[in-house]
Amino acid sequence: MSRYLLIIEYDGSPYNGWQFQKNQTTVMGTLMNACQKVFETQKFELYGAGRTDAGVHALGQVAHLDVNTSLRPEAIKIKLNDILPATLNLKNVKSVDSKFHARYDAKARSYVYHISTRRTAFGKKYAYWIKDKLDVMDMQKAAKVFVGMHDYKSFGSAEAENQSTKVEILHVGVHQQASSILVHIVGSHFLWKMVRRMVGTLIECGRGNINETDIRKMLNHYSDIPAKLTVPPSGLFLEKVYYSSVPETFVPVWPMVIDE
């Protein structure tokens, strides 16, 4: 079998997450159905760089595909995209070494969370509208507390009982443009719901209800407060998966910008 790297973007609204589930519409399941039609076989394997929850979007999800085919990578991309629904698109397909693994070779992953500061007719599926005025500078100051290696058991759950809840966060940025606020988070990996709870906590900082000292306490001792602040999946985008190197500075990709 040959191995191919796939870079995928998707609107997560109609999907019950990335991971294949029987009798559920998922991103992985939809891709697998398309592969069966294009390659006319069920003898292939598909692995993603990580799971996204129901309703979460992706600008640059990564997967690897093992399959026997004479098709060139560009032809694979075209033929799969011809079958895939409009909510799912292959941005790139390329041949990779058989030892490459989409998940285990990843050095870091980045997410962006899109907040709207006004009611919008177009962004409900792709943004979280906050009616209260947010102090972006307070959010930016609080975001710095997350950077580094910390125990994130207050902010997420491990996928397995023996998995560590320690995560290295490389960058947290809060950016505003017009009526959009983007929270950009880069880390070694992420626990279940961790990003959405980090964002919810930063929103409370913007409201003036939580400060940097409170976040430090949540990182040093277990707290159930972040779970209560979990924001909806609609504003969350898996932005990028890093492999060969991780840059020293990070510039977020804006999924959309809501005007004033």
Backbone angles phi, psi at 141, to 5 degrees: -65, -45
Q: Hey, how many other C-beta atoms are within 10 angstroms of the C-beta on 51?
A: 18
Q: What is d(CA 30, CA 80) in angstroms, rounded to the nearest whole number?
A: 11
**Cβ-proximal residues to 58 (8 Å cutoff; 6+ apart), any chain:** 8, 9, 10, 12, 18, 27, 52, 237, 238
Q: Hey, how many other C-beta atoms are within 10 angstroms of the C-beta on 60?
A: 19
- Selecting among 11, 53, 151, 259, the annotated active-site residue is 53
Q: What is d(CA 55, CA 15) in angstroms, rounded to the nearest whole number?
A: 6
Largest CA distance in the chain: 59
Q: Is 53 marked active-site?
A: yes
- Judging by DSSP bridges, how do beta strands 180-187 and 108-116 pair with one another? antiparallel
Give the chain's count of helices (H) and strands (E): 6, 10
Q: What is d(CA 127, CA 113) in angstroms, rounded to the nearest whole number?
A: 8
| Burial class (CB within 10 angstroms; exposed 0-12, middle 13-18, buried 19+) of 213 | exposed
Q: Report CA torsion sign: 6, 14, 234, 158.
A: negative
Known catalytic residues are 53
